[in-house]
Structure 1
Amino acid sequence: MTLAALNAELHHVLADAQLIATRLPGLEKLQLWLLDPANLNRAFSSEETRRLLDQPPYWSFCWGSGLALARWILEHPQQVRGKRVLDFGSGSGVVAIACAMAGAQQSIACDLDPQALLASTLNAELNGVELTLAEDFFAVTGDIDLILAADVLYDSSNRVFLEHFRQRAASTMLADSRVRDLQHPSYRLLSRLQGQTWPDLGEPLAFREVALYGNTH
């Protein structure tokens, strides 16, 4: 699995785009292969726009909630140190990588998209850590101490996973910039964090505030 292979996947959507090693704002100790911002500073053709909508390369961005959660983990390494953790909907792998850097016993990047798992692998190599990959959440065996998920609640169909997480792991942490007041008896607001999608998509300032929710049995 190589960077060239991941760039080739990106070219299926944006023919001239490139991934570059990028330091993250407020999280300089961690870097990811992300879409070169120069790729965004132009008008897209109608065909490119269609492809972006049909198959968005979301793994080529570090989304604000993932950035905020990764930063929080590295500021509170005791939350993951020595634990078996799973990053659900891992995308670029930023949260799983932060867990590995913070001393997790095993950090699992779980995503249905094979390109996201490739991105997570290459990003882990870039940061000198190892991840375990999982395509199917329900196929992961063994005890899980902590499940983490960033930006999964915006899709209401994903709310069913709140109970799956609670039943599967000793504790759960959810970061979301779209859901400010999660109404669920098993989850409570832990903190409000700041996060910014990178490369910058010019999102409204309101989406740079990230709610951190937690559940512990």
Structure 2
Amino acid sequence: MLPTVLTPVPFAPEISLHLVTQPVGLFDLTGGEFHSDQPPPFWAFAWAGGQALARHLLDDPAVVAGRRVLDVATGSGVAAVAAAYCGAAAVACTDLDPAAVQAAHRNASANGLSLVGRLDGHPEVVLAGDVFYSPIVAPKMIATLREARKNGATVLVGDPGRGFFPGRLFELVTEYVVPVPAVLEETEALTTGVWRMK
């Protein structure tokens, strides 16, 4: 694990996460290289989409209270931790990077909360923050989210205008201006929508 510091989430300070706090970019942490067999440490940052989802849940806990929740492509686990904080019946998370799932569980524990390894039955709410960032990932994510929607889940996506977001499949629930590290996003804030899949 990278050196991280337990830090309040900028846009959801009710929650603290183990994050990289020094001003470094994503690929600075990998020696400036990308290896397809080892994902970069997305989990070391609180990305805008996840922060927006967390804020939305914290402001309206009824969205997840008493429900089974799955956080897809969890990263740091910010949305999963927020769901647990808001009284979800059970929260599980998935990510291609096993280190992200470990980070999400560690972050939940740091907040006195816990995530489950897997849900009993289909999720009732599916969360996905910042998942439409590449032309390779987007179609796979669309298929995953459509399947969840077909099975009756409410699907919520946090997206700050990533290039491959399929807006036609979603309706805007709310929008925030989310603080982000300039070294990651080349700006200090991103207008970020929380979107519900139709």
TM bracket (short chain): 0.7 to 0.9
Q: What is the percent sequence identity of the aligned residues?
A: 30
Q: Could you list the per-position Cα deviations for residues 149-179 of structure 1 after superposition, in whole angstroms to 9, with x for gaps in the alignment? A: 1111233323223321211333111111124
Query: What number of residue pairs does the alignment pair up?
Result: 189
Report the residue type matching 2:173 in the other structure: L
Which deviates more, 73-82 or 18-27?
Answer: 18-27
Q: Could you list the per-position Cα deviations for residues 116-172 of structure 1 after superposition, in whole angstroms to 9, with x for gaps in the alignment? A: 1110111011000010135xxxxx651321111111123332322332121133311
Deviation at 1:190, TM superposition (A): 1.5
Higher Cα Rg: structure 1 or 2? 1
1: distance between equivalents of 2:22 and 2:35? 16
In the alignment, does 2:133 pair up with 1:154?
yes
- Normalising by structure 1, report the TM-score: 0.77
Q: Match for residue 21 of structure 2?
A: 36
Q: Match for residue 196 of structure 2?
A: 214
1: distance between equivalents of 2:21 and 2:161? 25
**CA 181–127 in structure 1, closer or farther in 2 if over 3 Å, else same:** same
Where do residues 1-217 of structure 1 align in structure 2 (5 Å cutoff)? 7=1, 10=2, 18-37=3-22, 40=24, 48-51=31-34, 55-134=39-118, 142-155=121-134, 156-157=138-139, 158-179=141-162, 182-184=167-169, 187-197=170-180, 199-201=181-183, 203-205=185-187, 208-215=190-197
Consecutive unaligned residues in structure 2, runs of 5 or more: none
**CA 141–98 in structure 1, closer or farther in 2 if over 3 Å, else same:** same
Secondary structure of 2:168's counterpart equals coil
Report the residue type matching 2:150 in the other structure: Q
Superposition RMSD on alpha carbons, in Å?
2.6
Consecutive unaligned residues in structure 1, runs of 5 or more: 1-6, 11-17, 135-139
